[in-house]
Homo-oligomer: A and B are copies of this chain.
Amino acid sequence: MNHSVAEETPSVGKYDLITELAKGFVQENGSTVVGIGDDAAVLSPSSEYVVTSSKVFLENVHFDLTYVPLQYLGYKAVTVVCSDILAMNAIPTQLSVNVAISNRFDLKAVQDLLDGVATGCENLHVDITGLDITTSRRDLIVSVSATGECEPAHLVRRQGAAENELICVSGDFAAAYAGLLLLEREKKVFDENPGVQPDFAGQDYLLQRQLRPEARLDIIEALRREDIIPTAMTNVSDGMAAALMQICRASNTGAVIFEERIPMTELTFNTLRHFSIVHTVAALNGGDDYELMFTIKQADFERIKNVANVSIVGYIKEKAYGCQLMTNDNHQIEIKAQGFSKMQNHA
């Protein structure tokens, strides 16, 4: 039974629908003055700087509902936009979401999507202060805007890295890309034979990284505890190569990273090998990691060891050096940003 939202709610208007859907949202951020239900949201930030970011996610461009559950989609949208706030060394505090749906979707679908958004926000202690539902012709469109806060002394930009500083990354890489390869393979199998059940045994971590990635609030909090303020930082959303080049370009520097230092789980490594993909290429150019890349002063070397899930992968060089990868067999390869789409052609 598939009812469109309009059919499900013949007697209530759009405003009632939004009020109803918003009921499950918890508000726990003291800086929220006015949330959903007025012309705009009102915040009373306790820090001097306010940080904003927004993203639009389009069906069949950014996500494929044949294998992306709506709850995970909502969760991931929160992760993506909040990762950009965190990458300024700021704390995300409020988020608003606009959903455009067609009559392909029922009310339950919207609720599932918003459940994912709400869970993502709860995990990051972010209030949902805006919600709008509108009509699309066919595809699902999710637009998310986040606000965060930081003190001027904490703000970290892409620019600011200097020669000899250490290049750090959180988490591990290419797992989300390996997860995508698995999902795409099973989709193809399913398209050819709809009776076959997907076989993802033992691959949970890779699927989780692709479908329901986490924003690294934990890393930002740990850096504060250790009193480390990175000199430059960016969100790794399109592979390590693009992130490194953004930091180097903004900071007017070069850099070297070491292949052996790139953090990757054995599961990711083996899965990529199964697909005949060079694991380092996947780490450099795969997407959807939502890890942080940042640079720190050498003086912070001892203290960074106290921050769990951070690896030092290289260091900043002078601009003329360019961005180089030192391979395991001691070859130097110039790093070029390719991004995700190119990746698949090269694989």
Contacts and interface: CB of A to CB of B under 8 A. Distances in A.
Interface string A259-273: 000000000000000
Contacts of A339: 13-14
A98 B96 CA distance: 15
Interface in A59-88: 60-62, 84-85, 87-88
A157 interface: yes
Interface stretch (A131-139, A162-170, A183-191, A197-205): A131-139
Contact of A50 (B43, B136, B152): B43
Contact of A52 (B13, B58, B94, B132): B94
Interface string A35-57: 00111111111001111111110
A15 interface: yes
A235 B157 CA distance: 36
A34 interface: yes
A337 B61 CA distance: 36
A58 B130 contact: no
Interface in A1-55: 13-15, 33-34, 37-45, 48-55
A115 B60 CA distance: 29
A254 interface: no
A278 interface: no
A208 B53 CA distance: 32
A311 interface: no
B56 A141 contact: yes
Contact of A44 (B41, B49, B148): B49
Interface string A221-250: 000000000000111000000000010001
A325 to B, nearest CB: 19
A253 B298 CA distance: 64
A34, A38, A58: most-surrounded residue (chain B CB, <10 A): A38
A145 interface: yes
Contacts of A87: 39-40
Given A54-B98, A61-B134, 9 more contacts: A38-B157, A39-B158, A40-B87, A42-B155, A43-B51, A50-B147, A54-B132, A61-B100, A141-B141
